[in-house]
Amino acid sequence: MQTDLSRKLGIEHAIFGFTPFPAVAAAISRAGGFGVLGAVRYTAPDELARDLDWMQEHVDDRPYGLDVVMPAKKIEGVSEADVEAMIPESHRQFVKDTLGKYGVPELAEGEASGWRITGWMEQVARNQLDVAFGYPIKLLANALGSPPADVIRRAHDQDVLVAALAGSARHARKHADAGIDIVVAQGYEAGGHTGEIASMVLTPEAVEAVAPLPVLAAGGIGSGEQIAAAFALGAQGVWLGSLWLTTTEADMHSRALTEKLLAAGSGDTVRSRALTGKPARQLRTEWTDAWDDPSGPGTLPMPLQGLLVAEAVSRIQKYEVQALLGTPVGQIVGRMNSERSVQAVFDDLTRGFERAIDRVNRIAGRD
């Protein structure tokens, strides 16, 4: 699965794997793809440095990258405490009432909630970059559009390619104008933050909009046949995220959540603002239903919603409250019905790709 972009990066397969787990990212790179570590959960620079140290020791000198959540526009003089103070008391009460309805226990006294959406903040993201640029990363991807111009310049000065996610051809053109190197065309089917255009429509539109910049297809891709289809639409690679959640290297910290993913079908996700305040595809649960119910208070804009629900999400995950337990994941979850190693996933992808190419060759009379 070679393209001009994969050859430029020195990887065997034009498969870019986004994941929050260092072990998965390293395994993707070792398997011949390009592992991309998600940085949004790292609130302390030393935590990110620790995991990048680990990756350096486990990628077998293969290339890898980092994905950050960084706004293009700088927000001056706003602290996390300032943002917390903007959250209405009615929304805090709604969270309390919903957790009480399902009997979700409190965290132990003094126990801090886990994951919080703080990577959107200018300084948090820049601290992550200060760490990352001390390592030989080959790609910096941004999940909130194009990074600020000075960040793009800094990356290019260190021979690091810059990618940005786009949900429309218009977004893709804005990224190209900003000077990024790779557009990730993320379709409606994708897990996490996503737009409203399906990947089959979006990919060729983005390819045409930014040519000759390379485009990676994302959203609803989980087989070698689908990778071949993405290449046929003009993509120079694929960006896969959800598919790695049920690999043996993934550290989900919850057997119950893994089992929900394995049992879910492609229709068991919903695009909801419940997690961050921006539309994000995730498992549909009683939690997402509560926030999407018109009788409720409605979600808050990003980042207020993420800060509001951070402790609640930690409690739901810690106590594995089945009805509320969920995670960002795409519609490809319907294919994620067994636990396999990253290498086994790659083996399956390459076999499917070969089958698709053989099929097309037969149709074209080239067999």
Average per-residue pLDDT for the chain: 93
pLDDT higher than 90, residue 70: no
For residue 123, what pLDDT is reported? Answer: 74
pLDDT higher than 50, residue 35: yes
Q: How far is CA 312 from CA 179, 184, 289, 353, in A?
A: 39, 31, 15, 42
Are 184 and 163 contacting, i.e. CB atoms less than 8 angstroms apart?
Answer: yes
Least confident span in 69-73, 158-162, 206-210, 338-342 = 69-73
Are 122 and 71 contacting, i.e. CB atoms less than 8 angstroms apart?
Answer: yes
Are 206 and 169 contacting, i.e. CB atoms less than 8 angstroms apart?
Answer: yes
**Stretch (H or E) spanning 280:** strand 280-283
pLDDT in tens, 217-239: 999 999 999 999 999 999 999 99
For residue 119, what pLDDT is reported? Answer: 45
Q: Choose between 356 and 116: higher pLDDT.
A: 356
pLDDT higher than 60, residue 199: yes
pLDDT higher than 90, residue 42: no
pLDDT in tens, 302-311: 888 988 999 9
Q: How far is CA 193 from CA 130, 145, 259, in A?
A: 25, 11, 23
pLDDT in tens, 74-107: 555 566 677 788 999 999 999 999 999 999 999 8
Entry pTM: 0.93
For residue 82, what pLDDT is reported? Answer: 79
Mean pLDDT of 159-167: 97
Mean pLDDT of 312-325: 94
For residue 44, what pLDDT is reported? Answer: 85
For residue 279, what pLDDT is reported? Answer: 93
